[in-house]
């Protein structure tokens, strides 16, 4: 095992590994163990191969695999079978890992597992491009961040380390968990982008946000981690129990991963069936240019309507229809209990307010 052939493979692999573990690029790669070294010539090309419990070490980085092979003076250097590369800050496991020195890229494939201080990624294939400092994950991608209690899945993901920017496509889904690991929110979209290392997340195209008892849809959703705030645009709607909320822009505010408050700006509309046993027959409506919603125990508890506020409320008592109340004013507050309006308060200049009661038609 002391031939020049071993030295050649060691030098090539040292150069390759320095791309992935730049902090140890000045350390010498040492061959710790291999059962045998083979060399064979196929056509005009000569190949070298280490086999059997192959182990290298470079500083604190340990590299293990079943076999390591290369064609002399040609890319790639290949690690084959049960590949395990680890140091204090990261771990990589895969069936195979290829190092392309000229292109400055590494490809891991087959049951890929990448563990860093911040997240754990699994995928069918992972490619790292040194020049762009870009990581590409392909096939059954799953990125778990224990600190943020999030799981991001999709078919294809790109992450630019220097810019702390990532993008996931092919049915991306972002899952938010609570401290017990119970799912509290799930966001779907056609594309999902992560900025500033996760401080801001943008989902676009057929966006759907699902929480217990609440579901929202829109064309674009922007989530701000620190504020626990989500801004919905592009025909946004929120379905909460028997209520549908819509407007030009919807703002959702979370507390402990639960919906606590919402705002509508522009063309606000709230609809709800007055009689849940006769859906669509009588529909209560609230309209206004601005609205605020307050939730308690995952239920809508209060609605405040501003600017051109209008309330249309069908009165039903003991399953009997009693008529329609119509109220307009500068500000309307509706207090609810178990999804049902219990009290309405109107604030307005006398000349700008109006109340009208229409009894049922006989």
Are both 281 and 334 inside the same structural domain? Answer: yes
Residue 121 confidence (pLDDT): 94
Which of 211, 242, 262 terminates a domain? The answer is 211
Confidence at 4, pLDDT banded by 50, 70, 90: very low
User: What is the 3 state secondary structure string of 233-277?
Assistant: ECCCEEEECCEEEECCEEEEEEECCEEEEEEEEEEEEEEEECCCC
Are both 185 and 218 inside the same structural domain? Answer: no
| Count of domains forming the chain | 3
* Residues 144 and 113 sit within 8 Å (Cβ to Cβ): no
102 is a domain residue: no
CA proximity to 78, closest of 98, 48, 92: 98
Are both 275 and 361 inside the same structural domain? Answer: yes
Residue 84 confidence (pLDDT): 95
Are both 124 and 73 inside the same structural domain? Answer: no
Average pLDDT for 298-326? 85
> Which structural domain range is residue 181 located in?
118-211
Indicate which CATH number applies to the domain containing 173.
2.60.450.10
Which of 151, 184, 211 terminates a domain? The answer is 211
Q: What is the pLDDT of residues 117-148, one digit of tens each?
A: 888 999 999 999 988 989 999 999 999 999 88
Euclidean distance between CA atoms 20 and 131, whole angstroms: 12
Which of 193, 211, 229 terminates a domain? The answer is 211
CA angle 207, 211, 216 (to 5 degrees): 35
Q: What is the pLDDT of residues 44-80, one digit of tens each?
A: 888 888 899 999 888 888 999 999 988 887 888 899 9
Q: What is the pLDDT of residues 260-282, one digit of tens each?
A: 899 999 999 999 888 877 787 88
Euclidean distance between CA atoms 134 and 157, whole angstroms: 10
Average pLDDT for 20-28? 51
Torsion angles phi and psi, residue 8, rounded to 5: -60, -50
């Amino acid at each position: 095992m002391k031939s020049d052939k071993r030295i050649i493979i060691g030098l090539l692999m040292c150069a390759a590994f320095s791309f992935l573990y730049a902090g140890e690029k000045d350390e010498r790669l040492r061959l710790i163990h291999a059962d045998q070294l083979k060399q064979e010539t196929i056509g005009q090309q000569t190949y070298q191969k280490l086999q059997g419990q192959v182990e290298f070490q470079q500083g604190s980085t340990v590299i293990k695999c079943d076999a390591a092979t290369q064609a002399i003076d040609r890319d790639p250097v290949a690690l084959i079978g049960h590949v395990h590369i680890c140091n204090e800050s990261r771990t990589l496991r895969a069936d195979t890992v290829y190092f392309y020195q000229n292109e400055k890229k590494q490809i891991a494939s087959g049951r890929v597992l990448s563990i860093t201080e911040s997240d754990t990624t699994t995928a069918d294939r992972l490619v790292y491009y040194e020049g762009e400092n870009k990581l590409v994950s392909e096939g059954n991608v799953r990125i778990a961040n224990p600190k943020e209690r999030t799981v991001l899945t999709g078919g294809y993901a790109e992450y630019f380390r220097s810019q702390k920017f990532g993008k996931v496509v092919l049915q991306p889904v972002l899952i938010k968990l609570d401290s017990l690991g119970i799912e509290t929110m799930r966001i779907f979209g056609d594309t999902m982008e992560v900025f500033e290392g996760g401080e801001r997340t943008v989902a676009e195209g057929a966006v759907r946000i699902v929480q217990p008892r609440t579901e929202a849809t829109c064309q674009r959703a922007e989530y701000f981690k620190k504020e626990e705030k989500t801004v919905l645009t592009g025909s946004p709607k929120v379905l909460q129990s028997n209520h549908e909320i819509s407007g030009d822009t919807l703002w959702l505010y979370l507390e402990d991963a639960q919906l606590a408050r919402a705002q509508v700006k522009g063309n606000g509309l709230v609809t709800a069936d007055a009689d849940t046993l006769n859906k669509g027959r009588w529909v209560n409506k609230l309209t206004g240019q601005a609205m605020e919603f307050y939730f308690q125990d995952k239920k809508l508890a209060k609605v405040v309507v501003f600017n051109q506020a209008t309330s249309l409320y069908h009165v039903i008592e003991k399953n009997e229809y009693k008529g329609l109340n119509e109220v307009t004013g500068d500000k309307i507050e509706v207090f609810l209990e178990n999804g049902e309006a219990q009290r309405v308060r109107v604030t307005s200049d006398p000349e700008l307010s109006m109340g009208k009661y229409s009894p049922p038609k006989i």
